[in-house]
Amino acid sequence: MPPWLPPAAVLLLAGLLLAEAKQSRAAMVSLKGLLSALFVLTALLSEPSRPDYHALILAGLVLGLVGDVCLALPGAGAFRAGLGAFLVGHLLYLAAFARLAPFSFWINMGLGGLAVMGLAVYRWLRPRAGRLLLPVTAYIVAISLMLDGAWAVFTWGGLPPAGAWCVLLGSLFFYLSDLSVARDRFVRRQFLNRLLGLPLYYAGQFLLAWSTGLTG
């Protein structure tokens, strides 16, 4: 990874948060696009030992870039497009984790906890999601399974510790950032949601991108 990439990402994130605080739409779209392109670049520059895992994570990151730009645009149509891009991205991450950990490790105590959490999120959003309830429900299921897959990879023990931690923390941060997005979209729109959610989201995506070079 080039030494300039981490500080460039931090600067772009700071600029994005400032643009969000000022509600500068043009700056938000451009800065999101640039910052998200960096996590795609991170994966492209990695030296993967598992090409199948790398290809799936890279495809998910590209869809994350598409989703980021869509969510920065106004209107329900752009939000639906962004939600769809992230939904497919989560499914690709899910497929990537399935390449790393045996299925037997996916059935665990964490799965039950995630099911309870997913149900609580569903009940929280159900009266607020309106016509988006079906895709939102599918999204909750997908990201819950993705996090369960990350836990399976972590507990399996077949990866170097750095790679296992990147997978687990990357998925967890992504999951938590999505709660901020949901609160901002359906409950109360305020800068605090983005102040908390955006650093978590980008940390999660960069960790997943880094994991592509830490699987061997």
pLDDT, tens digit (0-9, with 9 covering 90-100), for 40-66: 999 999 988 899 999 999 999 999 999
Q: pLDDT tens, 172-205? A: 999 999 999 999 989 999 999 999 999 999 999 9
Predicted local distance difference test score (pLDDT) of residue 19: 94
pLDDT band at 215 (very low <50, low <70, confident <90, very high): confident
**pLDDT score for 100:** 92
Average pLDDT, integer, range 133-144: 92
Picking from 4, 53, 32, 7, the residue whose alpha carbon sits closest to that of residue 210 is: 53
107: left (phi over 0), alpha (psi -120 to 50) or beta: beta
**How large is the average pLDDT for residues 91-95?**
95
Contacts of 69 (CB under 8 A, 6+ apart): 29, 32, 33, 36, 82
pLDDT higher than threshold 80 for residue 136:
yes
pLDDT band for 30, please (50, 70, 90 cuts).
very high
> So what's the pLDDT on residue 134?
92
pLDDT grade for 32, boundaries at 50, 70 and 90: very high
Residues 6+ apart with CB under 8 A from 130: none
DSSP class of 103: G
Can you give the pLDDT at residue 95? 95
In this structure, of 72-76, 118-122, 173-177, the range with the lowest mean pLDDT score is 72-76
**Number of C-beta neighbours around residue 86 at 10 A:** 24
